[in-house]
Amino acid sequence: MKISVARTALDKDRSELLAVLVPAKDWKAPWLSAGLRGALDVPVKLKDFAGDKLQKLLAYHGKQRVLFVGLGDKKKIDAETLRRAAAAATQKARQCKAATVSLALPPLATPNSQETGIAVGEGLVLGGYHYHGLKAPDKKLVKLKSAAVYLPKADSKFSAGLKRGSIGAEAQCFARDLGNSPGNVATPAMFAKEARKIGAAGGVTCKVIRLPELKKRKFGGLLGVNAGSTEPPVFLEMEYRPRSYKKTVCLVGKGLTFDSGGISLKPPGGMEEMKFDMCGGATVLATMKAIGRLRPAGVRVFGLVPSTDNMPSGSALKPGDVIKSYGGITIEVINTDAEGRLILADALGRAQELKPDYTIDLATLTGACVVALGHRATGLFSASDDLRDRLLEASKETHEPAWPLPHWDDYQEEMRSTVADIKNAGGRWGGAVTAFAFLKKFAGDLKHAHLDIAGTGWDMPKREYYEGGATGTKVRTLLRFLENLN
């Protein structure tokens, strides 16, 4: 979908759907044409529309559909309100089978017009997202071709923000596509193919480490989880390196393309959702894709994605087995369904060799985190106050909430093994916290943060820019985190 700032007057708009964002009690404002003000007269008199926050009204102006979206109190309009209001426009356009949509913004007393542009660009793209999957072609399906944004006056900062927001949101939609794809499609081989496409597009390099080299270099965690599978594993190493940089960041994503639990088999009910267990890896791939287009200054970025599925078979990893991770730490496997941390252990060992200033891993790691925080907030663990605070700031700015959880060394006691350096599962309680205690062992001296997206990678509450399935969560947060380093 092409997104641009409109060059014509609002009263000359001929799009198939015009969305007008209206602050509360502002429908008589002079920025609206007389015809549009007139379209609101009857709904307002009948109290069907008052401009309340995210209130929606579909009306008609001549032969054109007009969607009025309320913004609420003009003094309280924030980026999330604008993001959701813009998404309402493209969401309704899809429902109406409109190929073209326009969005009219009122004069806004916002402190940063670039931030407004970012929010609007994100909303337009995310609201227009639809995953058709492997269904038969729908002859009635109409794809959104363009979205034009009408401004009260020209604003170059807004325009720059609109482009930046749309690029980030397009990457988030790419992560959604990966997450929504079934496990027989989104295989490790497919992950490798998509990573190489990102590298070929420019700005980012990509290396795919395959089975022979994984064995030679002793990626024991990844090989152990893959032992029961017929799908070969891959380890993806991507890099963005500007000419000059002051900081280096390593992003690590769990690319578990399907998780049966292995020998510690999961219950059958809901197991189909385990195709989403690669959402952390999808977020890292998508972030690297956006980085290749945005080319942020002053920061070097690595993206590491270990990828496999976790299947039961005669050759599969067994409870009680001991494996050796990349870097030489031995692990007693208590539960083969605690497999994500095993492949992350290898990735964190590799990250240590890259010597980044910050390392962030993302994984749909524990059901315990969903119990603790539900589907609205990501669990954030970090022994670094600096990194924790930076991530919290970025998540707040992008409205992708995260919440800090404990990281005390006392939890290491629950991960002690009598036959190896560490075991991969603690007791029944505090599973999200003990999972991080495990990861800390492999992060070593890295300034490291772990984002448990088990509750936010999919199945979040629906809203204007999310209708279900994979969310692509934390792409926006990571991009903002990188931008804030400068």
CA distance 428 to 99: 52
Q: Exactly one of 266, 293, 318, 447 is catalytic; name it.
A: 266
DSSP letter for 233, please.
P
Query: Catalytic annotation on 266?
Result: yes
Q: 112, 27, 101, 12: which is closest to 70 by C-alpha?
A: 27
CA distance 209 to 192: 9
CB atoms within 10 A of CB 218: 15
Contact 291/204 with Cβ under 8 angstroms? Answer: yes
For residue 133, give the 3-state DSSP assignment.
coil
Cα atoms in the Cβ-side hemisphere of radius 13 Å centred on 279: 30
Helix residue ranges per DSSP H, 444-473:
none
CA 315 to chain centre: 34
DSSP-derived pairing of the beta strands 56-61 and 422-423: unpaired
For residue 340, give the 3-state DSSP assignment.
helix
Q: 96, 103, 94: which is closest to 18 by C-alpha?
A: 103
Q: Which two tokens stand for residue 169?
A: 């949101």
Instruction: Quickly tell me which residue has 């509360």 as its tokens.
Output: 24
DSSP-derived pairing of the beta strands 64-72 and 17-23: parallel
Contact 354/248 with Cβ under 8 angstroms? Answer: yes
Q: Which strand ranges, in their side-by-side order, compose the sheet holding 322-324?
A: 322-324, 330-332, 422-423
Q: 131, 130, 107, 127: which is closest to 119 by C-alpha?
A: 127
DSSP letter for 316, please.
S
Q: Which two tokens stand for residue 349?
A: 């060992």
Query: Catalytic annotation on 246?
Result: no
Q: Which two tokens stand for residue 30?
A: 């002079």
CB atoms within 10 A of CB 428: 8
Q: Exactly one of 341, 350, 440, 476 is catalytic; name it.
A: 341
Which amino acid would we find at residue 153? K
Helix residue ranges per DSSP H, 70-112:
79-95
For 189, phi then psi, to 5°, come to: -65, -40
Q: Give catalytic residues, as residue numbers.
A: 266, 341
